Amino acid sequence: MNPRFFTVLAVICTGVATVLAQSEDAPLWMEDVTRVPPGGHANLRPVKLGYTLSWNNRVNAGKFQISVVEPEDGTAQFIGDASGQSSGFARILWPYNFRARSVVAQDSLRPIVFQLNEKNRNATNSYGIIFESDRQVCTTTAQKKDEEAVTATSHVNFDFGQDVLSSAFYLRSHSLENGEKISMVVTPFNRPYLTELKVMGRETRKIKGKTYSTIRLDVRVGKINPDLSIKTYDKIKQTNLWVSDDEYRIPLELQSQISVGFVSARLVDLKWLK
C-alpha cells in the first residue's frame, strides 16, 4: 500500500503541461463537473479536527489533524492547515509524514493557493499550486535520498479546479439531498483527479463509541490522463464517506474497500476554536 493514499484521504510534476482546456472535442465528464455557486451551508466555524487511520479495523496505520481558521486581519478567507504521519506497524513498512496548507476564498469557496510537503523513507517532495482564474500552476521540488533536488513547473488549464480543502468546503455547502450528485476536478498533489460523489441516503452510525446522524456518500476517483481520459483504479473497489447531518457537515468517517481489505479514517477529536 502506497503511504500517499493516506494523504488523499485527508487530504510528480514532470515539466510537461497537462491540458484540460474545454473544446469541441472535450470529453463528456467535463460537462458533468458541478459549477453551481456554493449552497446554504457555506459558513463554517473555526475548528480543529483529529482523525485516526486504520487497516481492516485492526492495524493502526496513522493519524492526521486538520485546523480551519480565519485570518486575524479580517480577510474573507479560510486557512486550513493539516499534518499527519503513518504510525505503528504501518510506519515500520511505510514511514511517512506530510504537512499541507490551503487558502480558500470565503465567498466563492474557490482555492487561492495550496502547499504540500511530504517525506517518506527515501524522498522528500514539496508542491505549491497557485489557482488562477483559468488554470492552476504547480511547482514541484523532488529530492531523493543522497541526490540533488529537482524542481519543475507544470500547469493545468481548467477554470474550476479544487484543492483538497476547497473541495470539502464546496461539497458540504450543498443541500446534499438523497440522490444528489457532485463532480469536481481535485488536485491533491500535482496531477488532477476527477472526483464524483453521490448522496446515498441518511443513516445513524456509531463512530468510535459515539452515535451520529449522518449523510452517506459514494465516492469515485479517477486520475485525469494528459489525453483527458480517466484512469480508474481496479484495486479500489468502493469508497464511502459519512458526514454529519447537521449545519456543519463535519467529515466523520471514510472507508475505502481495496483488494487487500479496507482502510478507514475516523474522527476522534473535535474542538471548536471560536
Is 17 within a domain? no
Q: Which residues constitute the domain of residue 76?
A: 4-11+28-272
Looking at the 3D structure of the chain, how many domains does it have?
1
Give 38's pLDDT tier (boundaries 50, 70, 90). Answer: very high
Give 262's pLDDT tier (boundaries 50, 70, 90). Answer: confident
pLDDT in tens, 204-231: 999 989 999 999 999 998 889 888 899 8
Is 143 within a domain? yes
Give 12's pLDDT tier (boundaries 50, 70, 90). Answer: very low
pLDDT at 23 over 70: no
Is 23 within a domain? no
Burial (Cβ within 10 Å: 0-12, 13-18, ≥19) of residue 53: buried
